[in-house]
Amino acid sequence: MIRRRQHEEWMRRALAVASTSPEDVPVGAVILGPDGAELAAAGNERELTGDPTGHAEVLAIRRAAARRGEWRLEGCTLVVTLEPCTMCAGALVLARISTVVFGAWEPKTGAVGSLWDVVRDSRLNHRPEVYAGVLEPECAALMRDFFR
């Protein structure tokens, strides 16, 4: 119960971050350190930067790694409003993110259980713990409203 409340609190922060990029698909990502302190946050910046890798998760991972001064983000939690795609799922595995918390499922491109399940692939050397569907109605509504 306590964990669920913490995940919801963090997801509210990710939802707020998602709302900061009105020109791009509204996805927000927040990375918390092992102590629960926020290390980095990002929204999608593909349209802003013209960079196809400018997904919220990738940007948050880059910023968290820069802040920690190392690429290994062991003990960290990634909270994101939308199920990560294959690129982002691969990045979070390679960064050694320990926990992934996401809101809305993405049946077209999701790689944390929907279309693929990259993060639980037993052939990989790192498999984060996953909590799915946190504040799912709010996260899904953000996507529906954007694509209307």
Query: Binding site, residues?
Result: 55, 85, 88
Residue 38 annotated to the active site: no
Which three-class secondary structure state does DSSP give residue 45?
coil
User: Which of 65, 63, 22 shows the shortest CA–CA distance to 44?
Assistant: 22
Q: Among the options 9, 47, 57, 70, which is catalytic?
A: 57
Buried b (16+ CB within 10 A) or exposed e, 76-87: bbbbbbbbbbeb
Amino acid at 37: A
User: What residues form the annotated binding site for Zn(2+)?
Assistant: 55, 85, 88
Active-site positions? 57
